[in-house]
Chain A
Amino acid sequence: MRKLVTPLTLLTAALFAYVPVSIAGAPNEATMGLVQKIFYFHVPAWMAMGAAIAVCGAASTIHIFKNRPAADRTAAAAAELAVLFGVIGLVTGPLWGRKAWGHWWNWGDARLTMALLLELVFVSYLVVRAYGGPGSDKLAAAVGLFGTALTPFVYVSVNLWRTVHPVTTVVPELMGGSMPGAGLPFTVSSAAFLLLCGLLLIVRIHLASRQATLDELYLAEDDGV
């Protein structure tokens, strides 16, 4: 895994360098103009968050049943990244919303609400790890598993909950391909964000495993003395 770090860093850096170029080349959207281009960072941030949540759920399940510290470190790293990319999405969302709809938050926007909910779940994962005391790795793993299992219920219940509100049409339009120039910057940006997520995950897991080795060495030395 460590050998991937350098080529991944170079590739991610190259993609992120290209992203502004491709965004500048994309046409301005009819109603919202320049502001719409936040979309090229906003949606890929959600995609990275989704990927991190999936990794956290899988790693948490492995840790619960097989009790592997490596899985625990992976789950913790993935949860941190889910929170990070969630914050990016939850900050860019209202910024976009303020300019596009005139208000910061719209409970009718299903995606923002769902993301807020999942963000809360994974923030609680990190809170449990930090303040849960001994044995909190298993408890946090339970939160990770339950949180990931919650995703379809969040999707269904939030979508049905907000049906009285107007549906936001802009993102479906863009995703549906009605804006021809949007494809390239969106793909490049998505790839850049997903690679960044993978890169940060590898680096964070490596850091955690180094910390674990260091702890073991300290304990071994204490025992020796």
Chain B
Amino acid sequence: MFLRTALLVLRKDVAIEWQSLEILATTVFFAIGSVVVFAFALVKEGQAAPDAAPAILWVALLFAGTLALGRTFERERYGETLRALLLVPAPRAALYVGKLLGIVALLGGAEVILVPLIALLFNAPLLGRLLLFVPLLVAGTIGFAAVGTLFAAMLMRARTRDVLLPILLYPITIPVIIAGVRGTSALLESPADEPTAIMWLAIVACFDVVFITLALWTFEPLMME
């Protein structure tokens, strides 16, 4: 029941998104715009700063992810489907998991376009280190989305929801960003510093487990009203 509800929520979101691809397309273009802005800020005399690629990747994902979260829940609020969702006779945590999977899928879609682009623009051999890079990227995205989905769902009824989401989300996801940037940076060294990358991957994985557990635990009482 739990898993079925979660997958139904995911299917609903994917179906709606598939019709117009609005959030995905605008998120990707926003991320590309951010990457270009960072490029102009950080490139001096034709050379990017040494650790620019991982930094730009994760910061662009952070910004784009925040917007994607806001807009996904705005869609719920606008369609007034929130009440319908809350009336579902299934544990509320299943709704959380469905929404989380939807956000991760959306950000994953954006990353598929963003990562090769950054690898190209900054001559970063990311595509050769995929075995460790993909788990790190996925784990980081899940960590960010886990906390973001909870906060965005709770902020749906607040008036200042758009600006409150980053204010709440960024401090709490900074360990994920630290781990993501340092792990990616370790992988981009030649030769790749794999033990360091694995260490950072382990930290993000722990973060994911702890915070998804906390979110599942608190989602129901927090969405009570």
- Residues of A at the B interface (CB closer than 8 Å) are 64-65, 67, 117, 120-121, 124, 127-128, 131-136, 138-139, 141-143, 145-147, 149-150, 153-154, 156-158, 160-161
Contact A133 B199 (CB under 8 A): no
Give every chain B residue within 8 A of A158 (Cβ-Cβ): 178
Binds A, one of B77-85, B125-133, B146-154: B146-154
Give every chain A residue within 8 A of B210 (Cβ-Cβ): 149, 153
Contact B159 A133 (CB under 8 A): yes
Contact B154 A139 (CB under 8 A): yes
Contact A124 B168 (CB under 8 A): yes
Give every chain A residue within 8 A of B203 (Cβ-Cβ): 153, 156-157, 160
Q: Interface residues of B, CB < 8 Å — how many? A: 33
Tell me whether B96 is interfacial, beta carbon within 8 Å: no
* Given pairs A135-B154, A135-B225, 14 additional interface contacts (CB within 8 A): A117-B171, A121-B171, A121-B172, A128-B164, A132-B158, A133-B157, A133-B158, A134-B157, A138-B224, A138-B225, A139-B155, A146-B172, A156-B203, A157-B178
Tell me whether B218 is interfacial, beta carbon within 8 Å: yes
Give every chain A residue within 8 A of B160 (Cβ-Cβ): 131-133
Closest chain B residue to A149, Cβ basis = B214
Which B residues, 133 to 182, have Cβ-Cβ distances below 8 Å to chain A?
Answer: 147, 150-151, 154-155, 157-160, 164, 167-168, 170-172, 174-175, 178-179, 182
Give every chain B residue within 8 A of A142 (Cβ-Cβ): 150-151, 154, 218, 222
Q: Which of A64, A121, A146 is close to B211, meaning CB atoms less than 8 Å apart?
A: A146
Tell me whether B221 is interfacial, beta carbon within 8 Å: yes
Known A124-B171, A161-B178: A138·B207 in contact at CB below 8 Å: no
Nearest 10 Cβ contacts at the A-B interface: A120-B171, A157-B175, A153-B175, A121-B171, A157-B178, A133-B158, A139-B154, A132-B158, A133-B159, A124-B167
Q: Could you write out 18 A-B pairs with CB less than 8 Å apart?
A: A64-B221, A117-B174, A127-B164, A131-B159, A132-B164, A133-B157, A138-B154, A139-B155, A139-B158, A139-B222, A142-B150, A146-B211, A149-B211, A156-B175, A157-B174, A157-B178, A157-B179, A160-B200
Give every chain B residue within 8 A of A141 (Cβ-Cβ): 222
- Centre residue among A120, A121, A127, A153 by max chain B CB count within 10 A: A153
Name A's interface SS: helix
Q: What is the CB-to-nearest-CB distance from B51 to chain A, in angstroms, rounded to a whole number?
A: 11
Closest chain A residue to B210, Cβ basis = A149
Tell me whether B206 is interfacial, beta carbon within 8 Å: yes
Q: Which of A65, A128, A154 is close to B175, meaning CB atoms less than 8 Å apart?
A: A154
Closest chain A residue to B214, Cβ basis = A149
Contact A136 B222 (CB under 8 A): no
Docked CA distance A157–B222 (Å): 29
Q: Which of A143, A146, A160 is close to B199, meaning CB atoms less than 8 Å apart?
A: A160
Contact B172 A150 (CB under 8 A): yes
Q: What is the CB-to-nearest-CB distance from B202 to chain A, in angstroms, rounded to a whole number?
A: 10
Contact B218 A136 (CB under 8 A): no
Q: What is the CB-to-nearest-CB distance from A171 to chain B, in angstroms, rounded to a whole number?
A: 22
Give every chain B residue within 8 A of A133 (Cβ-Cβ): 157-160
Docked CA distance A147–B174 (Å): 11
Give every chain B residue within 8 A of A138 (Cβ-Cβ): 154, 221-222, 224-225
Give every chain A residue within 8 A of B155 (Cβ-Cβ): 132, 139
Docked CA distance A134–B160 (Å): 11
- Centre residue among A120, A132, A134 by max chain B CB count within 10 A: A132
